[in-house]
């Protein structure tokens, strides 16, 4: 049942609240209408029964007071509309009556003048198939009204051996008036409009909160939310603003700390490099300088990975021109890099971070695969940068582990055969900071493919 309701209801909270309000109005109106109709029909039925009983008793008293020769003419004159009065000389045997029919017969008997109480009164309420043999005139009235009908037949003995049969056409009550249906429609439309305005006030802060959270999830800078709306939404906006302020302060503090660490590390490294100039032993000096170069490279890599993504402002760039320029720079340095030309592709990103990520992937492909082939495409609104090499590939169980910090499948830790193990970590941080992804997969024909996916237009940008 719950699954069926979730499938039937709209997806958004605002639409669900409006639909729920409209359904509640419809159900409540129909419930009130049903109660009112039932109560009204009971009152009408009771009044109608009183009228039939009174008129049947009056007609019997009137016919009993006139000569027998005039009775048939008078009874025919009284028959009109749903009423029918018939005189019969045949003495009818009273049939078995229901509790309601017995009660009505007792009331008719009590209404009769004392002189007219010449025998038991019989009451029958005819329904359904019992009406087939009923006089055509009453049947035509029933068909003209298009109402489910019943006939109440009261048989009253008269003096002289005749009987008066009074028939009256009953029906189940009129259908709901069209005005009431219009009233329900007006109530539904009014409730929907009022609910739409009320829901808009409730859900607008929620939509803003969702948009802001999505922007942060895609690496953007969180806007400050207006603390408006219901109390719960105001508290949520206050908590979100407090959280973003704290994160902003933490990131700024981290930025300052990294800048200070970078400066403090480079200062002694520079001093040590100057000191090596005074070493007379060439072999020792070269070994120390080589160690200092590795230490500086490791320091730069650690600082870059620690900074991650988010320090640069986003702007729209031509991704095809960017990756082509990176490939051209590496080709000028003698690297085996090729690029398949592609039409201009505009993306909203941090230019320097994407350049760094693409360069790291190309350098990895050249270092471990001997060459790199870069191609650009678009899939489902994502810009896809694919870099293929012709190396040995990577064991399937290692494809995810290589993105962890300081993980190198080449275990010598030599800077000449590999970096510090932070290049792919940095690429993953940059990709996810843009709302994208980076994956590695072995090629069936040999080699490895690095696939960088970036959204063309990040949500909330």
When mean pLDDT is compared across 149-158, 285-294, 299-308, 435-444, the lowest value belongs to 299-308
Phi, psi of 145 (to 5 degrees): -80, -15
Pairing verdict, β 437-442 and 372-379: unpaired
Where does residue 81 fall: left (phi above 0), alpha (psi -120 to 50 degrees), or beta otherwise?
left
Give a yes or no: residue 270 inside a domain: no
The pLDDT value recorded for residue 324 is 93
Residue 413 lies in a domain: yes
pLDDT confidence bin for 389, thresholds 50/70/90? very high
State which of 153, 171, 189 marks the end of a domain: 171
* pLDDT for residue 92: 58
- Please give the angle made by the CA atoms of 282, 288 and 293, to the nearest 5 degrees: 120
| Residue where a domain terminates, one of 171, 194, 210 | 171
* Token reading at 169: 């056409």
Q: In the predicted model, is pLDDT for residue 147 greater than 80?
A: no
| Distance (Å, whole) CA 171 – CA 444 | 83
More confident: 439 or 401: 439
In a domain, 461, yes or no: no
How high does pLDDT run on average in the chain?
Answer: 76
Of the chain, the percentage scoring pLDDT greater than 90 comes to 12
131: nearest Cα among 101, 152, 102, 155: 152
Predicted confidence band of residue 368 (pLDDT cuts 50, 70, 90): confident
Q: Is the pLDDT of residue 2 over 60?
A: no
Is there a domain that residue 187 lies in?
Answer: no
Of 40-54, 379-393, 412-426, give the lowest mean pLDDT range: 412-426
Contacts of 381 (CB under 8 A, 6+ apart): 455, 456, 457
The answer as to whether 416 is a domain residue is: yes
Question: Of residues 152 and 453, which shows the higher confidence score?
Answer: 453
State the pLDDT at residue 146: 46
According to the model, what pLDDT value does residue 449 have? Answer: 93
What six digits make up the tokens of 448?
Answer: 């490895």
What's the pLDDT at 259? 66
> Largest alpha-carbon pair distance within the chain?
158
Q: At 142, is the pLDDT very low, low, confident or very high (cuts 50, 70, 90)?
A: very low
pLDDT tens, residue by residue, 221-251: 667 787 776 777 778 888 888 888 887 777 6
More confident residue, 121 or 457: 121
Q: What is the pLDDT of residues 105-121, one digit of tens each?
A: 888 888 888 766 777 88
As a whole number of angstroms, the distance between CA 89 and CA 455 comes to 99
Q: How many domains does the chain have?
A: 2
* Residue 283: inside a domain: no
Assign 413 a pLDDT band (cuts: 50, 70, 90): very low
Q: Is 398 a member of any domain? A: yes
**Quick one: pLDDT at residue 3?**
53
Tell me which of 174-183, 232-241, 395-404, 438-447 is least confident. Answer: 174-183
The predicted pLDDT at position 321 comes to 93
Task: Give 253-278 pLDDT, tens digit per residue.
Answer: 766 666 666 666 777 777 777 778 77
d(CA 355, CA 434): 13
Mean pLDDT to the nearest integer, 155-179: 73
Strand partners, 166: 85, 154
* CATH, residue 422: 3.30.565.10
Write down the pLDDT at residue 301. 59
Whole-angstrom distance, CA of residue 375 vs CA of residue 384:
8
CB 171 within 8 A of CB 147: yes
Per-position b or e across 4-18, b if 16+ CB within 10 A of its CB: eeeeeeeeeebeebb
Considering only CA atoms, which of 376, 360, 372 is closest in space to residue 331? 372
- pLDDT digits over 205-221, tens only? 777 777 777 776 665 66
32 inside domain: yes
Highest mean pLDDT among 100-114, 136-150, 420-434: 100-114
Residue 335: give the domain boundaries: 312-455
pLDDT(299) > 80: no
């Amino acid at each position: 049942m719950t699954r069926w309701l979730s499938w039937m209801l709209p997806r958004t909270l605002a639409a669900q609240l409006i639909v729920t309000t409209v359904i509640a109005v419809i159900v409540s109106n129909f419930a009130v209408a049903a109660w009112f109709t039932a109560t009204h029909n009971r009152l009408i039925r009771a009044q109608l029964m009183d009228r039939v009983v009174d008129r049947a008793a009056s007609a019997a008293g009137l016919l009993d007071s006139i000569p027998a020769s005039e009775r048939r003419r008078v009874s025919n004159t009284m028959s009109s509309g749903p009423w029918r009065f018939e005189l019969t000389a045949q003495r009818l045997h009273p049939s078995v009556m229901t509790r309601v029919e017995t009660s009505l017969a007792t009331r008719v008997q009590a209404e009769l003048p004392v002189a007219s109480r010449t025998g038991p009164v019989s009451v029958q309420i005819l329904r359904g198939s019992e009406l087939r043999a009923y006089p055509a005139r009453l049947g035509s009235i029933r068909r003209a009204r298009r109402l489910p009908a019943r006939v109440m037949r009261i048989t009253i003995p008269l003096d002289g051996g005749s009987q008066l049969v009074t028939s009256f056409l009953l029906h189940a009550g009129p259908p709901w008036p069209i005005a009431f249906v219009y009233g329900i429609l007006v109530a539904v439309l009014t409730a929907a409009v009022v609910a739409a305005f009320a829901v808009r006030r409730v859900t607008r802060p929620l939509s803003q909160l969702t948009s802001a959270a999505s922007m942060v999830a895609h690496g953007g800078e969180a806007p400050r939310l207006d603390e408006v709306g219901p109390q719960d939404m105001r508290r949520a906006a206050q908590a979100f603003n407090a959280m973003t302020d704290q994160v902003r302060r933490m990131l700024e503090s981290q930025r300052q700390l990294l800048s200070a660490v970078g400066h403090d590390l480079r200062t002694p490294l520079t001093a040590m490099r100057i000191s090596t100039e005074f070493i007379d032993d060439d072999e020792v000096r070269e070994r120390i300088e080589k160690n200092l170069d590795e230490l500086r490279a490791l320091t730069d890599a650690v600082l870059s990975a620690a900074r991650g993504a988010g320090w640069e402002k986003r702007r729209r760039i031509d991704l095809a021109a960017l990756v082509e320029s990176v490939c051209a720079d590496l080709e000028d340095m003698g690297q085996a890099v090729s690029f398949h030309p592609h039409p201009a592709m505009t993306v909203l990103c941090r230019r320097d971070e994407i350049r760094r990520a693409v360069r790291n992937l190309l350098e990895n492909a050249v270092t471990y695969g001997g060459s790199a082939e870069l191609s650009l495409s678009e899939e489902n609104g994502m810009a896809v940068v694919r870099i293929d090499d012709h190396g040995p590939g990577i064991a399937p169980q290692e494809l995810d582990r290589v993105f962890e910090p300081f993980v190198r499948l080449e275990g010598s830790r030599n800077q000449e055969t590999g970096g510090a193990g932070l290049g792919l970590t940095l690429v993953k941080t940059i990709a996810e900071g843009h709302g994208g992804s980076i994956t590695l997969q072995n090629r069936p024909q040999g080699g490895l493919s690095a696939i960088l996916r970036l959204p063309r237009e990040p949500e909330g940008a």
